[in-house]
Structure 1
């Protein structure tokens, strides 16, 4: 296993699937790419995961099959984001994340290889890309997890966010596995911060 702690600890930024309709998405992705290391981006499934939800009752699909399909939806969204921001490096393992950071570049996680092999991830709709981002935070020993949502957070901690429906019900348990600073922000707020740091 590569030593992701050898230099600066990674920072996970989870981009909600609803952001695919955000008019400033290309600008945000470009700013994240220019920020580079130690970022690891996690893409939500967005409308592709919604399509899996719609298909489940029509075909009487199991939760196991839909869990795998939803993770592949995240992977497809990641490919779309990489197409919009070529400066991002697609990475499907801890070694690939470390290699991207060694080049000074931000990694964009392809979750299928790691997540589908993980026995501690429930095959249920209660597990969403938010919990997967928290799981990756623990796996990488990241220092920070930022969830980028289309609306501001209500409540001040994971339990409150889950109660408000902002994150899935499993998120507080996965977030508790890590000492990372965990926060929720909007695309506008994150972009303002990135532009300010890049201009400094």
Structure 2
């Protein structure tokens, strides 16, 4: 009997916090849940991370503490997304992601377990959920990374241009450079259409 084929490599999709509270969010989550494996979704911190930013000067919090709090904000946003789209499977580790994919489900990353234990992530506001998504994509050997934004990227641009346009954090190009597959910015409607065509993980 031939050896079984290895599982397909995942594709990582980062959903920007700017989508929270917009009409596009719930239909997009439903479309991605319907697409299923081998997707891995990363939720931005959204308003919860903004709350951490607002709280920092009031309490005099360190950047290190705010870094950890912002990761927990992403974790809470992931729980919110899972409530909006029950077909998504919350997953904290590569093993849990693989288990979700074995069930045919798209995984929704809970970042706290991995990100808070990491020693290669700067504890700074210069690191946002975009760079965390690229960090996860590298850890999972993902085929591609798609950042879903409310604003489009300029045609023909790349990560350095996205920093200049304010679309990503200044550390993102270095994290993205480690990825073997393509890195792209997509609008919610375009991603939902790609999901419907079943070609998002290509």
**TM-score w.r.t. structure 2 length?**
0.93
SS state at 1:153 partner: coil
Aligned to 1:85: 85
Q: C-alpha distance in 2, partners of 1:93/1:194?
A: 24
SS state at 2:80 partner: helix
Shift of 1:195: 2.6
Where structure 1 has 5 or more consecutive residues not aligned to the other structure, the ranges are: none
Q: C-alpha distance in 1, partners of 2:181/2:163?
A: 18
Shift of 1:18: 0.6
Shift of 1:21: 2.1
Aligned to 2:180: 179
SS state at 2:20 partner: helix
Aligned to 1:191: 192
Q: C-alpha distance in 2, partners of 1:140/1:176?
A: 15
Shift of 1:180: 1.8
Q: C-alpha distance in 2, partners of 1:110/1:186?
A: 23
- 1:92-120 CA distance string (max 9 Å, x none): 00000000001110000000000011100
Q: How large is the Cα RMSD of the aligned pairs? A: 1.3
- 1:28-86 CA distance string (max 9 Å, x none): 10110010000000000000000000000000000010000000000000000000000
Q: C-alpha distance in 2, partners of 1:92/1:33?
A: 17
Q: C-alpha distance in 1, partners of 2:123/2:190?
A: 33
8 Å contact from structure 2 (residues 35, 196) kept in 1? no
SS state at 1:141 partner: coil
Shift of 1:156: 1.4
Aligned to 2:149: 149
User: Which runs of structure 2 are paired with 1:100-139 in the superposition (5 Å)?
Assistant: 100-139=100-139
SS state at 1:82 partner: helix
Aligned to 1:12: 12
**TM-score w.r.t. structure 1 length?**
0.94
Q: C-alpha distance in 2, partners of 1:42/1:7?
A: 20
Matched, 1:69 2:38: no
Shift of 1:87: 0.4
- 1:141-193 CA distance string (max 9 Å, x none): 00010000001012511111112111000000000111121000110111122
Q: C-alpha distance in 1, partners of 2:82/2:174?
A: 30
Equivalent residues, number = 194
Q: C-alpha distance in 1, partners of 2:42/2:77?
A: 10
SS state at 1:118 partner: coil
8 Å contact from structure 1 (residues 13, 148) kept in 2? yes
Aligned to 2:170: 169
